Structure 1
């Protein structure tokens, strides 16, 4: 009787060859065909399968004219695909590193950066770096900076403040942003939004970023200046997707960066409400660690500067090598 696997002890007896051969068997459908593909005899193939089932402690296939995977067999197939895929990807990345190339970049960005040219920069970058995968992580600037400190992230796009001047960090300003007030298709004002003022919306349901975020701090300061500090949001969320869904489905007023408002406005999802005074959000900047800057990362930052919101209206800024 097979011993049931417990913990990870059974996995230590697994070999990569086991996983490769199991996928061949599942694809071939018969022991005879699988044996031929693996250049084995059928008896050797049967012996191998019995050995594998002994390792995992349960039958993996139901034998017949064509083998059928048992529930345990489906689980092992999933494991095989994941493990072998990771091996192939890691091999490619190690090969890239050996050739002096960077196989992937991890970039963190606040909403404003995503709306202010990041997708265009990624597309342009990969025209010349087709083998480099770019992983985008969004979230509050504080959380992203922690990823930069631990080297989980190669660069972070966020609002310029004192943290960008820490020892060892470099930064370049991408563009200057504002805070915008927006409505979505769920608003009663969607078809008659022109001419609306801030005062017209004071009694509406507001969706705002959580307290303590830069957008919310700037918005709260604006409310004080407008003698409307009594206004409290009906919903607070750090999720752009959630705010977008609320404004699309319900009668709400939202607050976000102007770059995001313009981006989603161009897609027909938001309409930006004109206000008398501008609510400054701050310079959006890209920050990276000077000691861990590869040539690949510098090429990416160059693309960010070229494709940042409003880049065509300002002189090019050189990127340090």
Structure 2
């Protein structure tokens, strides 16, 4: 054990300010700009970097017109992100405890794919854990995964694809979802029988933004049915905008089947049955391998229970 402590003696001499300043340097890109942000001279900034490199025992950056991190510098950057992220989270958690809340959970979710799953899970979870403070962040999946890496988030719910299989992440598929065509409750297609996708091409469309998984899958399906030239009247990632536009127009839109079934049950939109299934993909949860703390796992258990009722009908 004594030998183990000796091998990390350099880390015990690190200060939080070292890590904060190193991230500022990486973001600034130059010693001059980093010095300006830290209110010091460039020579003092250079001396500080040399001091940090002496502590680490290896070069952390190459000095030039722009500062470039070495492989060791990149490792130090990841350490700084993790440590500062944990400090920031602990600060917020201490504030929550001071207000009488036992713990804090920060959840990330994509906008459209699982908007029903997460709120229902939160309601169920807090009936069992009323002293846990929950914060929600809704964003694109790649943004949420970045939040996991920075330890801003405890877990992320969304469409599980290759991006969720990072070396530091765990993931679990909760259910397979499909893409569903939807219209306003007044639409001529509301209540119609199963239709070929080609029958919808003549209508104006509300579509998810380009470069999202749902849009990619939808474009591929439309291409097979002569709809490759469709230009959407509206592109939006949000369910609220989709719902409002469809209720006010004769447009056709799409969302996940789990969400479509929820909105139809509330009387807000109507599903247009199709003769073919357009797969959306697996919906699941991702979290850090070192983030298996009890509160996060309890929420994942709640997601599992809620997901059993969200799987789309087969066929």
Determine the structure 1 residue equivalent to 2:131: 131
1:186 Cα deviation after fit: 5.0
Contact 2:121 2:306 in 1 (8 A): yes
SS, match of residue 244 in structure 2: helix
* Aligned counterparts, 1:49-198, within 5 A: 91-93=95-97, 103-110=103-110, 111-115=112-116, 117-190=117-190, 192-194=191-193, 196-198=195-197
Q: CA RMSD in A?
A: 2.5
- How far the C-alpha of 1:293 sits from its partner, in A, is 2.6
Local SS of the residue matching 2:279: strand
User: Deviation string for 1:97-141 (max 9, x for gaps)?
Assistant: 9xxx5x2111111222222x3223212211221110112222221
Q: Distance in 2 between matches of 1:239 and 1:120?
A: 18
1:186·1:249 contact (CA, 8 Å) conserved in 2? no
Between 1:196-205 and 1:259-268, the stretch displaced more is 196-205
Q: How does 1:289-304 map to 2 (within 5 A)?
A: 289-304=288-303
Inter-partner Cα distance in structure 1 for 2:264 and 2:231: 25
**DSSP-derived class of the 1:133 partner:** strand
Larger radius of gyration: 1
Conserved 8 A contact 1:201-1:253: yes
Superposed displacement of residue 199, structure 1: 2.9
Distance 1:301 1:307 in 2: 10
The question of whether the paired residues in 2 share the 8 Å contact of 1:182 and 1:273 is answered with yes
DSSP-derived class of the 1:152 partner = coil
Render the CA deviation track for 1:4-52: whole Å, top value 9, x for unaligned.
Answer: xxxxxxxxxxxxxxxxxxxxxxxxxxxxxxxxxxxxxxxxxxxxxxxxx
Aligned residues: 221
1:90 & 1:186 partners in 2: Cα distance? Answer: 51
In structure 2, stretches of 5+ residues that fail to align are 1-90
Distance in structure 2 (CA, Å) of the matches to 1:108 and 1:271? 28
- Deviation by residue 1:220-271 (Cα, 9 ceiling, x = unmatched): 0001112221222111111221111100111110011111111101111111
Q: For residue 164 of structure 1, report the CA deviation from its aligned partner.
A: 1.7
Task: State the TM-score, normalizing by the size of structure 1.
Answer: 0.63
In structure 2, the residue matched to 1:209 is 208
Distance 1:210 1:119 in 2: 23
Tell me, yes or no, if the aligned pair for 1:170 and 1:288 is still in contact at 8 Å: yes
Q: Which residue of 2 aligns with 1:255?
A: 254
2:243 alignment partner in structure 1: 244
CA distance in 2, matches of 1:90, 1:165: 32
The CA deviation at 1:210 is 0.8
* Alpha-carbon distance between aligned partners in 2 of 1:225 and 1:238, rounded to the nearest angstrom: 24
